[in-house]
Amino acid sequence: MSQTTPSPDSLTIALLGEAVLRQHAGAVQLPDPQVSQLAEGMRRKMDDQGGVGIAAPQVHHSLALMIIASRPNARYPDAPQMEPLVMANPRIEAQSTEQEMGWEGCLSVPGIRGRVCRPLWVEVSFDDLCGQRHHTRLKGFVARIFCHEFDHLCGLTFLDRVEDNRDLMATEVWLREGQS
Ligand SMILES: [Zn+2]
């Protein structure tokens, strides 16, 4: 890792408009204690903010590192429960042609929800923090989280996937009126 890793608690969330969110993230070499430390900091940040996923560019590190962590919480009451999964150098190997619409939010885009089309399932490969390659199949909301975080590694946010501005809502209204 070329950048100096700050302590986990000093990580700050990159917000829409910051250049790091538009860059293609670089591959990480593993194992690397600094990458493990960064992943730990990302996990804590995600937990603090009630997120169900986070990508390294969101904490100002343009590295191909992300966490998916579906669990029910105030932001996503219907989310399935899973152990947080740290994924380095992820790739989409295959995906369903069938897609479904669903609401997404993003720690880097505060205050806005958007309805976005995502595949029903994805087959992905990734490295764990030891550098071991894994293959797995993700479906439904977990596949959606993966695709959302994977987009961050490609310099995209969910706003780039919103096809109609009428699919955008203020989070405050979304929480008050529910999703349709
Ligand atoms: Zn995001």
Is 50 a domain residue?
A: yes
Active site residues: 149
The CATH number for 23's domain is: 3.90.45.10
Is 30 a domain residue?
A: yes
Q: pLDDT, tens digit, for every residue of 97-156?
A: 999 999 999 999 999 999 999 999 999 999 999 999 999 999 999 999 999 999 999 999
Mean pLDDT of the chain: 93
Q: Is the model's pLDDT at 77 over the cut of 90?
A: no
Q: Ligand 1 (ion): which residues have CB within 5 A?
A: 106
The number of domains in the chain is 1
**What is the whole-number distance in angstroms between the Cα of residue 145 and the centre of ligand 1?**
9
Is 123 a domain residue?
A: yes
Is 131 a domain residue?
A: yes
Q: 32 is in which domain, residue-wise?
A: 8-177
Is 166 a domain residue?
A: yes
Q: Is the model's pLDDT at 180 over the cut of 90?
A: no
Contact 95, 155 (CB under 8 A): no
Is 1 a domain residue?
A: no
Q: Is the model's pLDDT at 58 over the cut of 70?
A: yes
**What is the whole-number distance in angstroms between the Cα of residue 10 and the centre of ligand 1?**
19
**What is the whole-number distance in angstroms between the Cα of residue 113 and the centre of ligand 1?**
11
Q: Would you list the DSSP string of 51-87?
A: -SEEEGGGGT--BSEEEE-----SS-TTPPP---EEE
CA 30/CA 130 separation, integer angstroms: 6
CA 178/CA 180 separation, integer angstroms: 7
**What is the whole-number distance in angstroms between the Cα of residue 108 and the centre of ligand 1?**
6
Is 3 a domain residue?
A: no
**What is the whole-number distance in angstroms between the Cα of residue 88 and the centre of ligand 1?**
16
Is 74 a domain residue?
A: yes
Q: pLDDT, tens digit, for every residue of 159-173?
A: 999 999 999 999 999
**What is the whole-number distance in angstroms between the Cα of residue 33 and the centre of ligand 1?**
25
